[in-house]
Structure 1
């Protein structure tokens, strides 16, 4: 994994990490309610940081360790203190995201996204069955007959289960399957078995990129047809661009359940990629009841147009986290910042 603590500037030099005092000077912890359960949660906590060039978002999930969270902080620092690379496009096509809801709830979920040409559907949810997944996908296909549909299992199957599930889901028409199994070796085996059986489903790697010590191993192993990249888990836009370039595979940019502040960084990555063959998973602000900005980054006619956003003081106050959660996040920030600046950590 590229060093997440010091994202390079356009001239290739390494940028210093701001002091802890600089980060804390304008730091806000919020708790945003979700419209539907996603990743098992009904609210999302985030720490927002205002720097000299914009806002950054630090929101690694609570179960992530400090070392992994350090990449998320590096991405927030890049956004607030360095800024983003120049774009090559001014708008980014996005997909709708359907959580692991009952089939009869699919139309309501899709309605929040407006017109889209692609949909990501969560599958392999703990406590649900393959029949539930099939019903959900059929409901999506019934609602959007011409849309590209991709599924995301978050590594929830084993190899035999993935092959069985994707064989059953393939007739609905799948663009690709994201992280059907946890391991890189398992991805390679699922991909091989599907190809041998003539099942037309491409394999995308997500966790096998962003949670691996070596994010390029999945590409070298021939275990995926494309990769899913997320700005925060990879240490920032520039680090993610470098990974995509070295992987040599098509890339889909996705969110980490961010507010519009984090989505802005995802858009910066998608806008800077030389090629963008797939709709991106950056339409997830629609899964929130509210946002931290008065002008959220949501899709219009299937695309999000590139623009800057700023957190609104009133919304930051309205959704301010309780004192104990604010303290938890600020303590986490202090620990993670020390990992990025070991020589000067207090």
Structure 2
């Protein structure tokens, strides 16, 4: 469903650029920058990571416009079960991170972190499993950090911890297909994330039989309606995740999760717990393992308190102009 674009002037006039501190280093950063817009349908967000090129970031802008200026699809649920996200922290920090997620029965553990070893991953995953107990669900996310042989070896080494699935063990579709073939006997599913959201053809993974499930994200896929089209065409089970969004971006993801016909996996939409500050007095954090499907009321005070510096504000506004020209 196409959404009529607001004018560039309208978009810029409604933009608030923020820089939010994180509770722990994640993806190599300690501050998360984002743009919050005041759309006629409610607050919306633009938050591609700073290293992304304009063509990719423009898709995120399209998603934000659709959520703030467009219509929502039919929603099928009013709350979404979410997983805890475990950054590549040392073992002695695992319990502290888990304590931020109220009632979550699933943990996604970051592995294959640059500068760390498989032994570091094993120790972290073992501690998560110990704290979660046998009933907890543990999934891994390598962000494409292994080659095929490394992925096979790592998955074999980590299989003893009863892994729910492994997300993006390798970077390419061909590599995913090969890893899936090699580890299929272990019964550990392979999930595709970057191979969906960063691909020119997000359906290539499904056609290549390279994954058992897809991780879909509303902003990188261009919005809720576009993501739903991909889910329908792929014909694979999905989970909905986020990209370290503010609660506004998480609300966008929650509405996507609420519209997906079937949702067999807990969703990666609990990452507000990784933020030391947010843009709302009522952040979308996990309560009893779930978040509500709702629009977020933005706090004017918090927008002021966490406003980005003038040079970063100017950087983001220039980026909006460039991305808008690509829509």
**TM-score normalized by structure 2?**
0.99
Task: Tell whether the 8 Å contact from 2:143 to 2:170 is kept in structure 1 after alignment.
Answer: yes
Report the 3-state secondary structure (helix = DSSP H, G, I; strand = E; otherwise coil) of the residue aligned with 2:166. Answer: strand
Q: What is the CA-CA distance between 1:95 and the residue it aligns to?
A: 0.3
Q: What is the CA-CA distance between 1:305 and the residue it aligns to?
A: 1.6
Report the 3-state secondary structure (helix = DSSP H, G, I; strand = E; otherwise coil) of the residue aligned with 1:215. Answer: coil
Partner of 2:85: 97
**CA distance in 2 between partners of 1:24 and 1:52 (Å):** 14
Partner of 2:198: 211
Report the 3-state secondary structure (helix = DSSP H, G, I; strand = E; otherwise coil) of the residue aligned with 2:220. Answer: helix
Task: Tell whether the 8 Å contact from 1:98 to 1:106 is kept in structure 2 after alignment.
Answer: yes
Q: What is the CA-CA distance between 1:190 and the residue it aligns to?
A: 0.3
Whether 2:244 is the aligned partner of 1:257: answer yes
**CA distance in 2 between partners of 1:200 and 1:135 (Å):** 22
Report the 3-state secondary structure (helix = DSSP H, G, I; strand = E; otherwise coil) of the residue aligned with 2:107. Answer: strand
**CA distance in 1 between partners of 2:51 and 2:90 (Å):** 27
1:229 to 211, 216, 219: 216
- Alignment gaps of 5+ in structure 1: 1-7, 9-13, 341-346
**CA distance in 2 between partners of 1:315 and 1:82 (Å):** 26
Whether 2:302 is the aligned partner of 1:315: answer yes
Q: What is the CA-CA distance between 1:289 and the residue it aligns to?
A: 0.3
Q: What is the CA-CA distance between 1:143 and the residue it aligns to?
A: 0.5
**CA distance in 1 between partners of 2:72 and 2:80 (Å):** 16
Whether 2:156 is the aligned partner of 1:167: answer yes
Task: Tell whether the 8 Å contact from 1:102 to 1:136 is kept in structure 2 after alignment.
Answer: yes
Q: What is the CA-CA distance between 1:17 and the residue it aligns to?
A: 1.2
Q: What is the CA-CA distance between 1:30 and the residue it aligns to?
A: 0.3
Partner of 2:139: 150
Task: Tell whether the 8 Å contact from 1:170 to 1:200 is kept in structure 2 after alignment.
Answer: no
For the aligned residue pairs, the C-alpha RMSD in angstroms reads: 0.7
Whether 2:170 is the aligned partner of 1:184: answer no
Moved over 2 A (4+): none
Task: Tell whether the 8 Å contact from 1:99 to 1:121 is kept in structure 2 after alignment.
Answer: yes
Q: What is the CA-CA distance between 1:86 and the residue it aligns to?
A: 2.2
Q: What is the CA-CA distance between 1:265 and the residue it aligns to?
A: 0.5
**CA distance in 2 between partners of 1:65 and 1:17 (Å):** 21
Partner of 2:284: 297
Q: What is the CA-CA distance between 1:238 and the residue it aligns to?
A: 0.5
Identify if the C-alpha distance between structure 1 residues 289 and 252 changes in structure 2 by more than 3 Å, giving closer, same or farther. Answer: same
Partner of 1:22: 10
Whether 2:101 is the aligned partner of 1:113: answer yes
**CA distance in 1 between partners of 2:283 and 2:74 (Å):** 22
Report the 3-state secondary structure (helix = DSSP H, G, I; strand = E; otherwise coil) of the residue aligned with 2:324. Answer: helix
- Alignment gaps of 5+ in structure 2: none
**CA distance in 2 between partners of 1:47 and 1:273 (Å):** 26
**CA distance in 2 between partners of 1:193 and 1:294 (Å):** 47
**TM-score normalized by structure 1?**
0.93
Q: What is the CA-CA distance between 1:15 and the residue it aligns to?
A: 2.6
Q: What is the CA-CA distance between 1:108 and the residue it aligns to?
A: 0.4
**CA distance in 2 between partners of 1:84 and 1:59 (Å):** 20
Q: What is the CA-CA distance between 1:252 and the residue it aligns to?
A: 0.6
Task: Tell whether the 8 Å contact from 2:168 to 2:193 is kept in structure 1 after alignment.
Answer: yes
**CA distance in 2 between partners of 1:58 and 1:101 (Å):** 27
> What does 1:114-153 correspond to in 2, within 5 Å?
114-145=102-133, 146-153=135-142
Task: Tell whether the 8 Å contact from 1:54 to 1:83 is kept in structure 2 after alignment.
Answer: no
Report the 3-state secondary structure (helix = DSSP H, G, I; strand = E; otherwise coil) of the residue aligned with 1:327. Answer: helix
**CA distance in 2 between partners of 1:173 and 1:42 (Å):** 31
